Structure 1
Amino acid sequence: MEAIRPIKTEEQYREALKKIDSLINAEPNTAEFELLEVLSILADDYENKHYAIEPLDPIEAIKYEMKEQGLKQKDLVQYFGSKEMVSQVLNKKRPLTLKMIKNLYQNFGISADILLA
């Protein structure tokens, strides 16, 4: 069995992905499955260090959902309380309140993690 080492380079990462792909159908409780688990953990660690995803801005997430659902600012009044509040929040002049976050999460389908960022 080949030695397992930390993934430090892009080349090592690509090789690990190839090996993971070849082991993807390994049966549980086998040496191949254990190798798959270890390589997956190492690849995940490399990805987290080199391909970190920045948290999504809550206002940008709201605007994205508005666009996807074909909504206008007036459609958000029920979640924000007033047209003025919608405008202020979307222009980042006023922060989201907990009540707004709760309404958006429950009714608009935006993750609370994103809204609380």
Structure 2
Amino acid sequence: MDQTQGDADHPLMGLLDIVGALIAEYESRNVPEPEGTPIDCLKYLMQEHGLKQKDLTELGSPGVISEILAGKRELNTRQIRALSQRFACSPAIFI
């Protein structure tokens, strides 16, 4: 990908397309889609990044964060956007 620099006419672009298709096929067969609620995904990401509730200031006050993690409150659009930016992931996992 570094070699092609986005040039559609680069000689390696065909190889890149083939490798990309093979990777997609492999992942569809061998890598299961994670299951869970948006809160489960958030808890997983918190664990992976070594975060505690107090580190999620973009969600709001400590009380709001506790309610979200306890499943008593859903994430709103602003919070979803902030989390997807923080964790560099699709907002869809929080919906």
Instruction: Identify the TM-score tier after normalising by the shorter chain.
Output: 0.5 to 0.7
Report the aligned-residue RMSD: 2.7
Change (3 A) 1:70 1:53: closer
In structure 2, stretches of 5+ residues that fail to align are: 1-13, 15-21
Query: What is the match of residue 42 of structure 2?
Result: 62
Percent of aligned pairs sharing the same letter: 38
Query: What is the match of residue 75 of structure 2?
Result: 96
Structure showing greater radius of gyration is 1
Report the CA distance between 1:53 and its aligned residue: 4.3
Per-residue displacement from partner, 1:71-110 (whole Å, max 9, x unpaired)? 100001x211110010000000001011100110112334
Given the two structures, how large is their TM-score scaled by the length of structure 1? 0.51
- Off by >4 Å, runs of 4+ in structure 1: 52-55
Considering fraction of residues, name the structure with more helix.
1
Given the two structures, how large is their TM-score scaled by the length of structure 2? 0.61
1:79 to 55, 58, 75: 58
In structure 1, stretches of 5+ residues that fail to align are: 1-27, 29-39
